[in-house]
Amino acid sequence: MISRRNFMRQSGLAVAGMSGLQLATLNSMASGELLRDPGFGELVPDPNNIMSLPKGFSYKVISTRGQTMDDGIKLPDKPDGMATFEGPGGECILIRNHEMNVDMGSADHANILKLPKEKIYDYGKGETPSVGGCTTLVYDTKKQEVIRQFMSLAGTDRNCAGGPTPWGTWVTCEESITKPRSLKRKRGMVHYEQAHGYAFEVPATVEPALADPVPLKEMGRFRREAIAVEPESGMVYQTEDEHEGLITRFIPKEKGNLAAGGKVEALVVKGQDGMDTRNWKAQSINVGEPMKVEWIEVPADTSEDGGLRFYGRKRGAAIFARGEGIWYGDDGYMYFACTNGGKKQLGQIWRLKPDVDGGELELFVEPNDSSLVVNADNVTFAPFGDLIICEDRKGDVIRLVGVTPEGKIYTFANNHKGTELCGAVFSPDETTMFVNLQHTGMTLAITGPWDKKLGA
């Protein structure tokens, strides 16, 4: 197999070997044929009409909403972003977000209220606690069996994505900026006792344990999607799910201790204050053209909901088309998705070379071809050297998409349940890929001949 380190090295060589003009020409071709890769070959129809995969691959539904977990709590709905960690006995620890909001229903409130009050971030006056959060699933990849599941963070709102840290924790992100208030909804009154829009840290454990629900307020309050940590500096890079969102970084006072505080900075393209990277009106940024970046400090919170991005934009920060998943590569590059970037608003993949004093940004993929990819969301690296992208869109068939180091694209899986795919991630032993079917509340484990990629 090609290691992740080799992917990043090859990816750098591939992009460096072609001019931005050449790559832009490839990406502008209506047919998209030059951007296609054979991947693992044709997909085999699934008789159960859940997930079609290449020959030799199979999936197993390992978890479904409503199951009673080992701590007595019902498994919440809407599974989203995930990460894996190696347990002390070689177990795979899978931490999973649930993008639930406060007015999902009375059964969800009753479920959360079974937990100790001090472990629920937003208690909702004891009537409508926030029902987002995280669950942990401990998995035996050799037997392909679930060992146990349990709630690991409770009382947060719309936990969408997040990211793993080098010190073995999961940082979960609220895609919500609700303030304390009571609201009348169709199901009745709902109560928020806390402000939302924060990140929370969840330890990776094999035994049932609820994380202390401590908001990491100095990382910023905004509609945060995902994070990735640069391990040498401990800086945390963050995406924002807004149509004119920012890319920010959190510089901690203490490396590896996010709760100790720090400062937030926003990305600025050097010499291009307020650059619009979305390419909606014109191809102002071409694939493969590096741009130097610098950073400006922004407030962690403002009195205005969503104010962080408005503050940054007025001071020259670049804007991005709904920043989604972000993942750190072994050679120090960050890859992140913008779900509706590009002329046809089908999505972009960017890569960023971070540096304490600046860094370099370039557009890696922008196909503008719906047969290749639509609305890229979560991003992860595969052990065979490719990026794996989850699509978040409407339709009868929604895909897992592979992107090679050369920027070529293939379909790895078709989901037939009409739901966005979320949280694709590989086990530490690189044998199993996990993915969520959000609106059916399923988590799948996929295995197969990962070393049999065509043309590899």
The series of mean pLDDT values per 10 residues for the chain, 456 residues long, is 41 38 40 84 97 98 98 98 97 98 87 97 96 98 98 98 98 96 88 97 98 98 97 97 97 98 98 97 94 97 85 97 93 91 97 95 96 96 92 94 95 96 98 98 98 84
* Residue at 450: amino acid letter: W
226, 360: one domain: yes
424, 293: one domain: no
**C-beta atoms surrounding 358 within 10 Å:** 15
H/E segment holding residue 298: strand 291-298
Question: Strand 132-140 relative to strand 421-426: parallel, antiparallel, unpaired?
Answer: unpaired
Residue 101 lies in a domain: yes
Residue 374 lies in a domain: no
How confident is the model at residue 25, as a pLDDT? 39
224, 194: one domain: no
How confident is the model at residue 304, as a pLDDT? 80
Q: Give strand pairing partners of 83.
A: 95
252, 354: one domain: yes
- Domain termination residue (choose one: 161, 180, 215): 215
133, 57: one domain: no
Question: Strand 409-415 relative to strand 58-64: parallel, antiparallel, unpaired?
Answer: unpaired
Return the DSSP state at 155.
Answer: E
Distances (CA, A) of 43 to 53, 151, 404, 415: 5, 35, 18, 11
321, 227: one domain: yes
349, 307: one domain: yes
Q: How far apart (Å, rounded) are the C-alpha atoms in residues 396 and 413?
A: 13
Considering only CA atoms, which of 157, 99, 150, 160 is closest in space to residue 128?
Answer: 157
- Indicate the number of domains in the chain: 3
Q: Considering all CA atoms of the chain, what is the largest pairwise distance in Å, rounded to the nearest integer?
A: 60
Q: How far apart (Å, rounded) are the C-alpha atoms in residues 191 and 124?
A: 5
34, 163: one domain: no
How confident is the model at residue 6, as a pLDDT? 43
Please count the residues of the chain. Answer: 456
SS3 state of residue 408: coil
* Residue at 437: amino acid letter: L
Token duo for residue 66? 């409503």
159, 263: one domain: no
- Measure CA 181 to chain center: 29
Residue 400 lies in a domain: yes
Considering only CA atoms, which of 171, 166, 199 is closest in space to residue 95?
Answer: 171
Q: How far apart (Å, rounded) are the C-alpha atoms in residues 318 and 338?
A: 13
Residue 234 lies in a domain: yes
Beta-carbon contacts of residue 407 (< 8 Å; ≥ 6 apart): 14, 15, 23, 26, 35, 287, 364, 365
Considering only CA atoms, which of 422, 324, 427 is closest in space to residue 80?
Answer: 422
- Domain termination residue (choose one: 368, 403, 425): 368
How confident is the model at residue 7, as a pLDDT? 40
Strands in 199-247 per DSSP E:
199-203, 224-230, 235-240
Residue 306 lies in a domain: yes
How confident is the model at residue 331, as a pLDDT? 67
Token duo for residue 424? 């694709």
Q: How far apart (Å, rounded) are the C-alpha atoms in residues 375 and 155?
A: 29
How confident is the model at residue 215, as a pLDDT? 98
Residue 401 lies in a domain: yes
Which domain range does residue 23 map to? 1-62+392-456
How confident is the model at residue 39, as a pLDDT? 97
H/E segment holding residue 21: helix 20-28
H/E segment holding residue 16: helix 4-16
- Measure CA 138 to chain center: 20
Residue 387 lies in a domain: no
Token duo for residue 43? 């997909």
Q: How far apart (Å, rounded) are the C-alpha atoms in residues 433 and 380?
A: 10
Q: Do residues 131 and 147 make contact, with C-beta atoms less than 8 angstroms apart?
A: no
- Domain termination residue (choose one: 215, 234, 250): 215
